[in-house]
Amino acid sequence: MILKKIIFFLVFFCFVFTSKSQSITNYTVADGLVTDFIECIDIDVNNNVWIGTSQGIQRFDGVNWLNFNTGNSSQILSDNIKDIYCASNGDIWVGTDFGINRYDGVNWYSYTATNSDLISNQIKSIDEDLTSGLIWIGTNLGASSFDMSNWTSYSNNDLHWSGVSSVSFDNQGGIWFSHLYGGLTYFDGINFNKIDTSNGLLSQNITDLKIDSFGNKWVGTGGGISILDNQNLISQNYTRMYVLPPPDTLNPVVEIDLGSNGNVWVAIYVGYLAEGGVAYFDGVDWQDFDISDGLIGPNIRGIAIDIYNNAWVATSTGISKISLPISSTNDFFINPFAIFPNPSTGEYFFSSSVEISDISLINSFGMKILSLSPNASKINLKILSPGIYYVLFRNEEKTYRKKIIKI
């Protein structure tokens, strides 16, 4: 019986990986990484992938790996990389606990609180104002901007004692500072304005903020995503981009990135559960991806989108590349089946835009629990224990999978 369960479990994972493996590629030490524990990731103007680790920096061009560390580049301040940013002019900026480095393609340069007017050596984030070309560095003591000649700094007296976890720029010239424990600070050039849970944010714990082409601010928080409109008012809150088992319903955001096609990608990790994944929003609905879909691990550290709108996901066990289909109608991202309500205490209803020949239910271990008629329009799970289950819809061409939550 145990052998039978193991075989079924393996068959299930073969299905998941083969049905989606064309879209997810994993990279580990065996493929060229210096370590599987990835701290941060970004994509440069030539579509090279830059990777920050505890053993230095790597560049991956899709074939070859190039390594930079304190052993081969004396200007690099530390091998323990905290953030990495690829600037629009091709420069690579690398943050550490000992200051910041810049690589111009030939030489490495170092900037510290000792040899420059950088406000602190403890780097939290690196961002760029694409209008002015200024590089902004978030630190534990505030933020500094740099125009390659002069530094301007804003201390925590103007911002928040918890430092700056990201800096973003709106189309009206405003600067947005994110704080890990203090909400947001919006600087309009004259005044510093606070935005926090009293204004409708899901949480005071802000990890990232990205502004889309419509001026919407996607705010990554400890409880999910809050969206601010052009008037800086909360227009939407999302707490379940990535579906977790009950009672955990909130999605702590690690990082947000935007594709050139307008899609929003979110890296999510719940530390005390050791559970995480990524979620993708196409303007209509969210799709989520985790280890059951082929991601290399649940400890999500960061995410970056390349010029082809592929998502590169940094984890503690390697890197996953989620390759988006060229056609927006690819079934990997648009599932023709809807299940509602979800979560539910037991009864779920189906809707479908395609014909199906088989419906079955499996648990999180890949074991088949029951089969339904292809004409079924609902399923009742009241007798089952709370947790995550998957409904498989099959027709002659494909198998579709929908995650459901029993509470």
- For residue range 142-198, list pLDDT tens digits in order: 999 999 999 999 999 999 999 999 999 999 999 999 999 999 999 999 999 999 999
The pLDDT of residue 334 is 46
> Residue 326's pLDDT band (boundaries 50, 70, 90)?
low
Structural domain spans, the chain: 24-111+255-324, 117-239, 337-406
Buried b (16+ CB within 10 A) or exposed e, 136-157: bbbbbbbbbbbeeeeeebbebe
The pLDDT of residue 17 is 37
Percent of the chain at pLDDT above 90? 61
In DSSP notation, 193-243 reads EEE-GGGT-S-S-EEEEEE-TTS-EEEEETTEEEEE-TTS-EEEEES-SS-
CATH 1.10.287.130 for the 337-406 domain, yes or no: no
Distance CA 140, CA 98 (A): 12
Stretch (H or E) spanning 136? strand 135-139
The pLDDT of residue 19 is 38
Name beta bridge partners: 111: 100
CATH 1.10.287.130 for the 117-239 domain, yes or no: no
The pLDDT of residue 397 is 65
> Is the pLDDT at 310 greater than 80, yes or no?
yes
Distance CA 314, CA 26 (A): 10
The pLDDT of residue 239 is 86
> Is the pLDDT at 249 greater than 70, yes or no?
no
Apex 329 CA angle, 327 and 330, nearest 5: 75
Distance CA 24, CA 293 (A): 8
The pLDDT of residue 16 is 35
The average pLDDT across 307-315 equals: 95
The average pLDDT across 334-358 equals: 76
Mean of all residue pLDDT scores within the chain:
87
The pLDDT of residue 10 is 37
Q: What is the CATH number of domain 24-111+255-324?
A: 2.110.10
Per DSSP, the three-state class of 78 is coil
CB 350 within 8 A of CB 363: no
The pLDDT of residue 283 is 79
Of residues 126 and 340, the one with the higher pLDDT is 126
Pairing mode, if any, of strands 264-270 and 311-315? unpaired
> Is the pLDDT at 330 greater than 70, yes or no?
no
Question: Longest Cα pair distance anywhere in the chain, in angstroms?
Answer: 72
